[in-house]
Amino acid sequence: MPPRVPLSVPLRLLQRLGVFVASVVVASLLVFLVASALPGNVAQVVLGVQATPEAVARLEQEFGLDRPWPVRYGAWFAGLLRFDLGRSYLTGQPVLDQVLPRLGVTSWLVGLAMVLALLVAVPLGMWAAVRRRHADGFLASALSQVGLAVPSFWLGILASLVFAVQLGWFPANGYVPLSAGFGPWARHLVLPVVALSAVQSAVLARYVRSATVEVLHEDYYRTARAGGWRTVQALLRHGLRNMSLSVVTVVGLQLATLLAGAIIIESVFALPGLGRLLLDAVAQRDLMVVQGVVLLLVVAVLAINALVDMSYALLDPRLRIERGQVR
């Protein structure tokens, strides 16, 4: 058997891209089939409780829903190749036009929640690890346990009642775009971001804690300490980078759950994001919108995973060196 020839960097990227494209194609078929399998249809919802069977049949024909599913999938997929997600059955407008304004809201919500979660979880997890045999470290651990158990929607409602209704510090809900000014925009996002990030902080803190505990037992850490470095210095300088591999993996996975959590938080805070759009579209059986949004979320998650994979090389120099170059 000839020795396996390692792939060059461009080829590896190409391979990665190929996997990505194949995943998207398979996902589009799955998304389409699942959406089509939803019982009930948009024509009935549009016509409401006064609908006659003839009117429903006519509207189905107009929407093209009477065609067999492979034909409908083919038409939809052909559109995707031109970055055309189709037109909403309800409004007749391009799905992309409906999705793009919502994408901004959800991206800010999820992105800021992730950043806040990291800001809270990394110090909290490290603290809990370093002080794990002390009361305050134990408290930090306990806090992250409690955080895991709190549902984000409940926290959202509570935060809204306390900080908006009682104290009047923030708006109870709603959204204004960034173009309307940084202050109002940020004020509307504080409570949803905090509510969404709480659980993520707790999850992440636990990973950071265990990763830190591992680092504390490593030779290089002990050496650094013995060389006169302080705990925090040694952890930040040598520990953080080593921890980051496992933390980044978890962050990549968590982003998917954050997107799911955003759907609920957007309802609680009446934010016009993708989640609201998706829920409304499912309720109305506007399958073009459902397919478009779900596919977009799938692509986002796949892209994040691909980025996480690639970031390993940045974080860990060992992975950057190709086998052939090892000396």
Provide the token pair at 216.
């504390």
- Sole binder of other proteins in the list 65, 114, 268, 290 (CB under 8 A): 268
Looking at residue 193, its amino acid is V
- Sole binder of other proteins in the list 68, 183, 228, 317 (CB under 8 A): 183
Phi-psi group of 86: left, alpha or beta (phi > 0 → left; psi -120 to 50 → alpha; rest → beta): left
- Sole binder of other proteins in the list 80, 96, 164, 240 (CB under 8 A): 164
Place of tokens 């699942």: 34
Taking alpha carbons only, the member of 86, 75, 39 closest to residue 296 is 86
d(Cα 132, Cα 140) in Å, to the nearest integer?
A: 9
- Sole binder of other proteins in the list 96, 150, 190, 302 (CB under 8 A): 190
- Sole binder of other proteins in the list 27, 143, 186, 302 (CB under 8 A): 186
CB of 187 to other proteins, least distance (A): 6
- Sole binder of other proteins in the list 150, 184, 256, 315 (CB under 8 A): 184
Give the x-and-dash track for 204-233 against other proteins (CB under 8 A): --------------------------xxxx
Place of tokens 């461009």: 10
The burial of 269, by beta-carbon neighbours within 10 Å (0-12 exposed, 13-18 middle, 19 or more buried), is given as buried
Taking alpha carbons only, the member of 136, 132, 123 closest to residue 235 is 123
Kindly tell me the number of DSSP H helices and DSSP E strands found in the chain: 14, 0
- Sole binder of other proteins in the list 80, 137, 272, 301 (CB under 8 A): 272
Give the x-and-dash track for 275-314 against other proteins (CB under 8 A): -xx-xx--xxxx----------------------------
Three-state DSSP state, 110: helix
Provide the token pair at 245.
């591999």
Does position 58 interact with other proteins (CB under 8 A)? The reply is: yes
**Which is closer to other proteins, CB of 45 or CB of 143?**
45
**Which is closer to other proteins, CB of 5 or CB of 182?**
182
d(Cα 178, Cα 182) in Å, to the nearest integer?
A: 6
**Which is closer to other proteins, CB of 241 or CB of 320?**
241
**Which is closer to other proteins, CB of 51 or CB of 306?**
51
CB of 5 to other proteins, least distance (A): 48
Query: CA–CA distance from 298 to each of 42, 46, 255, 294 (Å)?
Result: 23, 28, 12, 6
The burial of 73, by beta-carbon neighbours within 10 Å (0-12 exposed, 13-18 middle, 19 or more buried), is given as middle
CB of 125 to other proteins, least distance (A): 13
d(Cα 83, Cα 282) in Å, to the nearest integer?
A: 22
Polymer length of the chain? 327
**Which is closer to other proteins, CB of 18 or CB of 151?**
151
Residue ranges that bind other proteins, judged by CB under 8 A? 38-41, 44-53, 55-56, 58-59, 62, 90-93, 98, 101-102, 119-120, 123, 127, 157, 160-161, 164-165, 168-176, 183-184, 186-190, 230-233, 267-273, 276-277, 279-280, 283-286
